[in-house]
Structure 1
Amino acid sequence: MLRCTRKGWAGGPALGLFLLAPLIGEYLHGNMSVTALPWLVLTAPLYGGGALLVREAARRTRRGWPTVFLLGLAYAVFEEGLVTHTLFNPSYFGYPLLSWARLPVVEMGAWWTIFVLTLHVVWSISASIALAEALVPHRAAEPWLSNRGIVVIGIVFVLGAATNWLATYDLEQFVPAAEQLTGTAVTVVLLVVAAFRVAGRRHSPIGWRSPIGRAAPSPGWVATTAFVMTSVFIVLGWFPGWPTVAVYLGLYLIGWLLLRRWTRRPGWSGRHVLALTGGALATYAWYAFPSRPLVGAAGPVDTAGNVLFALGLVGLLWHARRATSMSAPAPEWLS
């Protein structure tokens, strides 16, 4: 499962992603305080296991980021719909999540559904994978787990999901209706199928690369754009409702058009993917400071923890930038 090779310990990147996913998804984000680090035992199997399975499925089939995004969305629907049930719980942690931009036919909240699924797709899964790969760019295109390792991580993921389900039920005493659970399961399956059927292009992350035309924008411009757009997305989360849903859909459209244009231009590379990742992660870093953690101590100790996580992010991005600039260009389907 984990072995030593001439390139180093084969399990290093996998273990790194296993820990990065929950640290980014919950701690850098500010949902959990630094005093809740022991909860990694509960969050890593679900977040880290999910991120590893998504990455292995995409990279073993030599598929790019559209497949990662769709598999990340399948993971998000699985976690929030079948594990923690926040997509259907009218009072999760005391918050009336379904009352904002309510969809009465399916008993869901449009604002919360878009918001929480985006958090998982962009940050918990995609950004975690992109950062982990940027730290070891010479191994970014290859599998990180053996076949036995995939089985083990699969078991760990299932156990993590079951443990989180039990913990959530113990706190909330809520189970969605059978129709909601069935619809969620079908949605997860359809997203997985779409990840390998619709997003099956292996030669470019968004579309076919054009050999002529304007060069790709600078990584600095890409990072700034990512930071601004993700910051707008996060800030609007403080104003839930139908107007915010409309703006979210507009941000999706703008983001898709920008990525489609940028990734088709000559010069788009792994450095640009890292820039996108860094801009998005910087948003999570600042957002943690005005946020109050749902788990763990608040106050000065939480602020100190946010500083620690932000500095850790800066260090990882610095190392990833150095590693990416010194490595050979990534395969086109990966960059």
Structure 2
Amino acid sequence: MSRRIGAVIGLLLLAPFIGEFLLGNVTADMLAYAFLFIPLYGCGAVLVRELGRRTGSGWPGMALLAVAYALIEEGPVDQLLWNDSYAGHDYLAGPSYLPALGMSVELTQTIVALHAVWSICVPIAIVETFEPSRQPWLGRIGLTVVGLVFALGAGLVFWGNYAEEHFLATPAQLIWITVVIVAFIVAAFQVRRLPRRPVAGVAPSPWVAFVLALVLTTAFWGPMVLVTAQWYEWVGVAVWCAVAGLGLAIISRWSRQQGWNQRHIFALGAGATMTYLWLAFPLRPELGGSLALDLATNTGCALVALTVLGLAWRSLRRHEQTTIASAAEPLTV
């Protein structure tokens, strides 16, 4: 029980840490904002993990729920998908802006990547390495409390943004994004019914999975951050599609091969984490601030991330050794 509660607390803290601080989006002087990040990011990640494990939909279901989370946070909650002056920035401006929807294709893709992968799936992959049981960590009461805190956090973020921005999407925009969110949630609960036929062959080394995650996520983020010319925007949209499609195809195949285990899942999460680790340095915080504070925050967060990854790897090896030792014990005295 204590290990499961510890895993819940770890996920509550790790999701906002990776989602905001490791990315370099905020600096150390904004630690006070964690009281908003934890209910939204942390509780969101716990809800996705618990619902995925309770329904038996596993990682495919959790990934779909993570996309729904991304659209909830940046859609109805903080309105970033449609706000052309969010936090003093016009993130919608650019060649991929679609006037009919009032949205940017590039921004929408970026939001899905930011939150579905790094805010939700990566923290779950790392924390489940400490507690690899596929069983739920919370009972019904605990899950209900987490859900209520998530709703409260989402409400506070919505209220705070509206009080500052005085922006609200049109009813049509809110209706269709709600339809899309519901579709992803329904798909997440139904995905367990799909057959997952084994694939011949042996899954590659976890190090190969680590390199795959690092290379693919760097291929997406690197040019998008370093190339600022408008001509790259539609190229970046194509790169996002290529990276997502290739990554899903490869992981889907490997995960159905013999030998695929938690080491591979951790390796994918670690590779994606390393991309955020280097990305934070050329990326400036959303609200600005001194370069010295930014560099100090990024360096500190990088050290914390490397420590967490090291502890997760050691915990995984210790768990594997314990499992092997238990299996080797005689069944009779």
TM over 0.5: yes
Conservation of the 8 A alpha-carbon contact between 1:208 and 1:264:
yes
What is the CA-CA distance between 1:9 and the residue it aligns to? 5.2
Specify whether residues 116 and 236 from structure 1 end up closer, same or farther in structure 2 by C-alpha distance, changes over 3 A only: farther
Tell me, yes or no, if structure 1 residue 41 matches structure 2 residue 35. Answer: yes
User: What amino acid maps onto 1:260 in structure 2?
Assistant: S
Conservation of the 8 A alpha-carbon contact between 1:64 and 1:202:
no
Matched position secondary structure for 1:95: coil
Tell me, yes or no, if structure 1 residue 278 matches structure 2 residue 270. Answer: yes
Conservation of the 8 A alpha-carbon contact between 2:86 and 2:165:
yes
Conservation of the 8 A alpha-carbon contact between 1:89 and 1:98:
yes
What is the CA-CA distance between 1:10 and the residue it aligns to? 4.1
Q: Which structure's CA Rg is the greater one?
A: 2
Partner of 2:203: 216
C-alpha separation in 2, matches of 1:10 and 1:269: 20
C-alpha separation in 2, matches of 1:317 and 1:237: 26
What is the CA-CA distance between 1:288 and the residue it aligns to? 0.9
Partner of 2:281: 289
Conservation of the 8 A alpha-carbon contact between 1:35 and 1:297:
no
Partner of 2:257: 265
Partner of 1:123: 118
Partner of 2:222: 235
* Aligned mate of 1:96, from 90, 99, 120: 90
What is the CA-CA distance between 1:96 and the residue it aligns to? 2.4
What is the CA-CA distance between 1:201 and the residue it aligns to? 4.9
C-alpha separation in 2, matches of 1:258 and 1:298: 41
Partner of 2:166: 173
What is the CA-CA distance between 1:298 and the residue it aligns to? 3.0
Conservation of the 8 A alpha-carbon contact between 1:81 and 1:87:
yes
Partner of 1:315: 307
Q: Which runs of 5+ in 2 are unaligned?
A: 322-333
What is the CA-CA distance between 1:295 and the residue it aligns to? 4.2
C-alpha separation in 2, matches of 1:27 and 1:116: 16
Deviations 1:70-89 (A, max 9, x none): 00011111111101111111
User: What amino acid maps onto 2:178 in structure 1?
Assistant: A
Number of residue-to-residue matches in the alignment: 315
Conservation of the 8 A alpha-carbon contact between 2:56 and 2:192:
no
Partner of 2:141: 148
Partner of 2:179: 186
What is the CA-CA distance between 1:300 and the residue it aligns to? 1.6
Greater helix proportion: 2
Conservation of the 8 A alpha-carbon contact between 2:79 and 2:168:
yes
What is the CA-CA distance between 1:312 and the residue it aligns to? 1.1
* Aligned mate of 2:105, from 102, 107, 110: 110
Identity of aligned pairs, percent? 40
Matched position secondary structure for 1:292: coil
Partner of 1:164: 157
Tell me, yes or no, if structure 1 residue 253 matches structure 2 residue 242. Answer: no
Conservation of the 8 A alpha-carbon contact between 1:131 and 1:274:
yes
User: What amino acid maps onto 1:208 in structure 2?
Assistant: R
What is the CA-CA distance between 1:255 and the residue it aligns to? 0.8
C-alpha separation in 1, matches of 2:265 and 2:146: 26
TM-score by length of 1: 0.89
- Out of 8-17 and 295-304, give the one that drifted further: 295-304
CA RMSD of the aligned region, Å?
Answer: 1.8
What is the CA-CA distance between 1:109 and the residue it aligns to? 0.3
